[in-house]
Amino acid sequence: MNGSTSLPTIQWSPSKISQVKCRPITTANAAPEMDEMMLLMTSIQDIDRQRSLLLNKVQQRCASSSLSPKKRQPRSLSTVDCRLEHHRLSTPHWDKVFPEDVVLCTQCGLDILVRALKLHHDNECTHRLVRCSQAGCTAIFKAISRQAHEASECVATRRNSKWLQLQAHDLQLVCCLDCESEITVRAISAHLNAECVKRRVACPRASLGCKRTDIPFDQLEVHDTDECIVGVRRRALLASAVATNQLVPCDWCNQPVVKRHMLDHKEDECMMRERQCPNAHLGCREWVPVGQFDQHLKSECVVTMERHAMADQAKLKDVLTPCRDCGALVKLRHMTLHRSATCPARLVPCVNVIHGCQAQLRFRDRHIHEHVDVSPEARAALRFASRSGHIRIGGGDDIKPPWCAEFWVWLHSKEDDVLYFMEQAIRWQECVRTTTSRLKEWQDKHKQLQETLKQGTVSHMSKPLETDALEIGEGIAGCKSILAEARARVKSLVADSLVVANTITDPSDRDELNAAVRAQTERLQPGWTADDWELYGNVGKWADLVNQSAKPEEDQQHAKWLAKRQQLLQAMESRQPADPRELARFLKQAKKELSRLDDKLAKCVDVPLALVQSATHGFHTLASSATAGLHVMMASTGMPGVHTFERRAKFNVDLPRCQWVHIAYNAAVDHISFFVNGVKATSAKGSFHLPVALIGAEEKAFRGHLQEVRFWSQDRPDVATSMHDVLGLVPELRGYWTFEEGAGEYVDDMAGQFPRSVAVNVDWVRYSTATVQVLGDPPTASYRQRNMCKVVTKRAFLALKHHQRNGKVKCSLGCGLEGIYLRYT
């Protein structure tokens, strides 16, 4: 081969790379497949670029070898050139087979070797028609327009670009609004649904009963711990399962029981389980613990209590009970028969009922009604000589206003009262002196006994010494008790004497009284010294001595206890709850407290409680009870008054003495009035009760005589109209005592409202000539004489007339003849 010969042209076309088929990308593995796709596309582009470079180099080399007359410097051949050169040298007749003719491409206008024309038309011509290489695009266009097509017209390219844009957008970082963490856009949905710690989720135990569906994911543990009802129940069950064999106390009996056996224990074994009373079929509706059946049946069951009540009622029928009318002891079952047939105080008609007498009288008083003694000596009155005279009328609770109480009383003079009080005080003072000397003797014996015991040689004399010690202890205690009572009575008597003496306003009368008291003291105690006569013979000096020796602390404590006692009594009277059981419990507790207070007063004062109570109210008491009293003289003023509990009313009235006086206490709802001889003297505000326990008092009763007592259950401002009259039996008359019995220890209520009453420490006084000279005539007519049988009265009158008609008398004209019958005069 020479240099004029042209190089043969080869027609070569590189192999085509098969198109990459794209698979649809699923959502589940979108990120990994996207990365793989991007890498594949980069590799394809590199291969395509290298292919184009190689083709261009081959064409340039071929063109330069055939057309350029200049020889170029040899250069290093590329791999493709080497392969082409190797192919040329190994092919025989290369120049003949591959001539170097050049033709014009009809499409693009380029000069192309003939041998490369087909390759040019198929692969290189820029105006050749090609099909879009993107999968899914079927467009056909010129090769030169490929870039424009892919940039704007290719469906696949647009789809891939859009997909790539979407992929790029999905890879952007955004902030979660709930948890504030950075995440990609494409992962936001998965994050909100599965990863966000603040996402709202339902409780995992929703199927088991928990209804919460809006719980933050990071609060699930807190919800499960504190709020989830299923969790709480499950934990409780777990705890219960853990402790199922533990010993726990029973809620009812407090006995230790295995927890898993607790239900069986409560149903079958527990002694505190409640069951219906065995007497439920008989009417008891109580549910009682099994272990307390016996106690319930014995003391609480209504059926048992009813049985006991019936048994007690049957027993009571054989109990001896005093008759309300006559006081005789009669079996209760025979009481009705007794009161209707054998009671001496039963009401019977007059024996002369067939002759027209309509009177109803007591059986024992028939002779009084049928044979009345009309002589003045037949009338009687009660004399209260001491300060303890009283009549136990036993009327129950005090009468609340309105009420009226009338008394016909005869009071001793003030001088006589003072002398009597001082006489009693001197006698008690002598008792104090005597008892003090005896107490000193007992105390000396007690000291001797202590010295004997200190010597330590009394083993053989233990029994006699024990007897002596008991005797000495009793002697000392008895002397102290006597001294306490004697001193309290001296204090009371001297204080009352001073109150009465202070009401005497005339100086000469007071001087006479002081002299009489001194003379009485010298007469009663001639062995005392002159100093003693001077001290104990003067009311004022003795009162000052008593007040100085008093202990103010003890007096204040006594006053507090007495005030508390009055408050308890007032509460017991005024409390009226709707529930009877509540009232019974309250009264029981109040009575216990009252008993404790009485014990305290008795131990510290060691005198009768009535004496201690009366010291704060008054004396000369006409009527009294535990909570009220009507007094002729109050302790503070010496004037009449009344008290109920701690309330007091004082009347500034000086009552007449040494004559019959009609006294009336007339109480309305809000005030009380005081009448003297039918005239209203004064009044005071307040609500006061009428005491119906005693007429008089156990301590500090009035001294004098009592003719009549009338209790009314109404306000009677017109007492003057009937104070001298004999009363008829009306419903408003609650009590009517005329004291005409004249003998015995019982008095009767003519109104029949109160039972036969016992008179204590009183005397009967009849209206003899001597008595009339002191007391005067009776202030009222005789109830018995006014109510004597009219038939007997008429019969006696007719008999007297008949006797007078048959009697012999002297001629009333003065003729001196005798033996003439009255019927002929």
Three-class SS of 286-303 = CEEEHHHHHHHHHHHCHH
CA distance 419 to 410: 18
pLDDT value, residue 194:
83
pLDDT value, residue 712:
94
pLDDT value, residue 66:
45
Kindly give the parts of the chain with pLDDT less than 70.
1-31, 60-101, 372-374, 456-463, 549-588, 597-616, 804, 807-814, 816-825
* CA distances from residue 367 to 362, 377, 800 in whole angstroms, order as listed: 10, 17, 20
pLDDT value, residue 424:
92
pLDDT value, residue 688:
92
pLDDT digits (tens, 9 = 90+) for 117-156: 788 888 888 888 888 888 888 888 888 888 888 888 888 8
CA distance 410 to 767: 14
Q: What tokens were used for 562?
A: 């007495």
Q: What tokens were used for 366?
A: 């028939």
CA distance 471 to 799: 74
Whole-prediction pTM: 0.56
For residue 798, list its beta bridge partners: none
Q: Measured between alpha carbons, how far apart are the two ends of the chain, in Å?
A: 232
Strands 757-760 and 763-766: unpaired
Q: What tokens were used for 318?
A: 């054989």
pLDDT value, residue 658:
92
Q: What is the largest CA-CA distance in the chain?
A: 242
For residue 182, list its beta bridge partners: 175
Strands (E) across 46-121 are located at: 102-104, 111-113
Of the candidates 484, 700, 486, the residue with the CA atom closest to the CA atom of residue 611: 700
The domain spans of the chain are: 30-67+77-127, 202-241, 274-315, 376-412+617-785, 416-454+464-550
Of the candidates 503, 541, 531, the residue with the CA atom closest to the CA atom of residue 653: 503
pLDDT value, residue 17:
43
Q: What tokens were used for 375?
A: 């002589």
pLDDT digits (tens, 9 = 90+) for 625-637: 888 899 999 887 8
**Residue recorded with tokens 């009609």:** 662
Instruction: Quickly count: other Cβ atoms within 10 Å of residue 640's Cβ.
Output: 26
For residue 318, list its beta bridge partners: none
- Nearest 5°: the CA angle 172, 173, 175 is 140
Q: What tokens were used for 151?
A: 């940039």
The fold for domain 376-412+617-785 equals Jelly Rolls (2.60.120)
Of the candidates 38, 35, 25, 85, the residue with the CA atom closest to the CA atom of residue 57: 85
